[in-house]
Structure formats: structure tokens, C-alpha cells
Amino acid sequence: MSTNIQDILADEAESLLSYRCSGIPRERLHVPGPDFVDRIVSQSDRNPRVMRNLQSLFSHGRLGGTGYMSLLPVDQGVEHSAGASFAPNPDFFDPQHIIELAIEGGCNGVASTLGVLGSVARRYAHRIPFIVKLNHNELLSYPNQYDQTLFAQVDQAFDLGAVAVGATVYFGSEESRRQIMEVSEAFARAHELGLVCVLWAYLRNSAFKHEGTDYHTAADLTGQANHLAATIEADIIKQKQALGNGGYTALDFGKTHPKVYDELTSEHPIDLVRYQVANCYMGRVGMINSGGPSGKDDLHQAVRTAVINKRAGGMGLISGRKAFQKPVAEGVKLLNAIQDVYLSDEVTIA
């Protein structure tokens, strides 16, 4: 049974489903599609092994063959603690249940830690594409720090049968230059081995919260984070969906241009996310948005995020806590609802 997208969007349905971008029109984008690897990736310097593994991600799950992705990420046990992450559904302390949720939920792939994926690799690596997250922040150290530490090596991901590696850079942080160097080196090695590279391109700096507004999700700042991610040859960029704009101007730092705010974007959420996509080389690098924490309105928020991502020209959604911090049947329903947005002919690119 397909998801009734209009009913879930409720009062926002017309605004989100009928809007047309004019600042950066659809025609300027390299949009996702069944031929994305042939049409776009084949122009790049990626070797045939990377292209094959990227195609295996595109070909798996309910969205197989569409050019869109629905991924299940379960790496939160490292930073947010296993207790905080899995106490709502203790079965997920066992990696087997993580993989089975991704399979039953129809995902293109599953992203998790070296330990999680390595513990069940012989049973599942041939059944669903694995993405090994290489670095993590962890909050057991006291006092807490906010940095990314390598927990795994690229060759370990290759050896356990992964098709891709993932990593986070905290752009804007004091540690970002070191992280960029570490991840760039890791991605170069991953591409040598034929692995797809996924970058969690997150902002982190306390100064980005200014006069009561959090600019960590500003379109201009996250757009630049995407541009930096594409610079180190990420194949897929994971980004928080833009919720505002004007980070550069409010914080009075960095460099920007009036046209970013006057012509290329508006206050409409699809325009804000379109600017994020534009910074991914106009879609040559696929952008997936994250699903965010679990709450009381998960289905609505997940569908809304997916609609905005797809209409803006994005490549999909990566949703973890909204799916695994609830009974399995509800988690599967939520993942399927996200996928229904990308399968729907009624949800077009704005």
C-alpha cells in the first residue's frame, strides 16, 4: 500500500508539491535518474570498480533502478552511546537486527561501524551493500570533546566486503583542517580499491549559534560545506536539510555574494535545499539529507524531508533513529514511506 503523501503533508501539500524554483531552475541541474552512473559518473575520474559499486547501491532495495537512495545509518552507538541509542529498542544492541531492518525496510544500503558490519559480514555483506563509517566522535571522554577520530582503516572496510566507506568532517571547527586531510587521504585510498566515498558534511562551531538563531543548518554555510566535500571527491554527500539562510551575513565572516540571497534562493524550503544541491557541482555529486532525531511526528517529518529533498534535486534520504528507535514494523513503515516519495510520479523536481 503506497503512502498518501498529500494527506501526510496536510496544509503544506500545495506549497511543497506545486512550487517551482526560479533562482536555480531545474534545467541547470544534473538530476538523479536510472542512468546517473552512465550519464554523470562516467565523465569523472572514478575507476570502473567505483562505478560498479556505486551502481550496486543504486540497484538495491525498493528504489533500485531509480537513481535515488534510501539508506539506514546506525553508527549512533559510538557518539550518542549505545544505551541512549538502543535502549528504546534493545534488539538493536545486536548488529544482526540492524542489517535485517535495512533489508526488510527495502533500503539501498546500510551504514554502520567497522565493529557492527564486521561482526555479521559473512552472513550479510552479499545480501545488502555495506557502508563502513571510518571516523566518529565519542562522548565517553570527559570532559566531552567534539572531534572526529579514525576508528577504522579503508582496507578493513574493503576486506569485509563493503561497497563504500563513510566519514564525517566538522566543517567550521578548529579541527576541520586536520579532518579534511585525514578524510581526503582515506577517500583517495578508497577510490583506489574501488569503494564509493560518502561524506557526512556537517558544520560544528559554537559561534554558529548567534543571537538566538542556529546557523548550523543555514543554506549558505551548509552549501559551502557541500562544496568542500565535493572538492575532496566525495561521491555522495550527506547533509542536514537547510532550515534557514544568511549565516555568513549574520556572523559577519567568510565570503559570500548578495545574489546568493536576492536571486539564487528564497525563504521557501525547496529553494534553500536547491542551493545545497547546487554546491554539489549542480548535482554531479549526489546529496542525501539526514533524517534527524526521533520524535513524536516522525512519519510526517520524514515524508516532508523527502519531498523537499527530491523536489530540490537531491538524491535521497538517510534516516536512522526515526527508523530503529521504534518497533520493527513501524520502522519499516517509515522507511517505506520515505521510499514512496521517490517512487511517486506526483513528486517532481521543482
**Which cell numbers in the block locate residue 160?**
569485509
- List of residues 6+ apart from 18 with CB closer than 8 A: none
> Can 133 be counted among the known catalytic residues?
no
pLDDT at 293: 72
In 148-297, alpha helices (H): 154-159, 176-193, 219-231, 247-251, 258-262, 269-278
Q: Is 252 exposed, middle or buried (0-12, 13-18, 19+ CB in 10 A)?
A: exposed
Q: How far apart are CA 334 and CA 300, in angstroms?
A: 9
- Predicted local distance difference test score (pLDDT) of residue 1: 62
Instruction: Kindly write down the DSSP assignment for every residue of 321-345, as one continuous string.
Output: HHHHSS-HHHHHHHHHHHHHHHH-T
Mean pLDDT by 10 residues, the chain (350 residues): 89 96 96 98 98 98 98 90 90 95 98 98 98 96 93 98 98 97 98 98 97 97 98 98 97 97 98 98 97 82 97 95 90 95 97
Domains present along the chain, CATH in parentheses: 5-343 (3.20.20.70)
User: What's the confidence (pLDDT) of residue 221?
Assistant: 98
Contacts of 28-32 with CB under 8 Å at 24 or more apart are 28/278, 28/282, 29/277, 29/278, 29/282, 29/283, 29/313, 29/349, 30/281, 30/282, 30/283, 30/284, 31/283, 31/313, 31/349, 32/66, 32/67, 32/68, 32/283, 32/286, 32/313, 32/314, 32/315, 32/316
Q: Choose the catalytic residue: 238, 240, 310, 322.
A: 238
Q: What is the pLDDT of residue 77?
A: 86
CA distance 28 to 36: 15
Q: Note if the pTM is more than 0.85.
A: yes
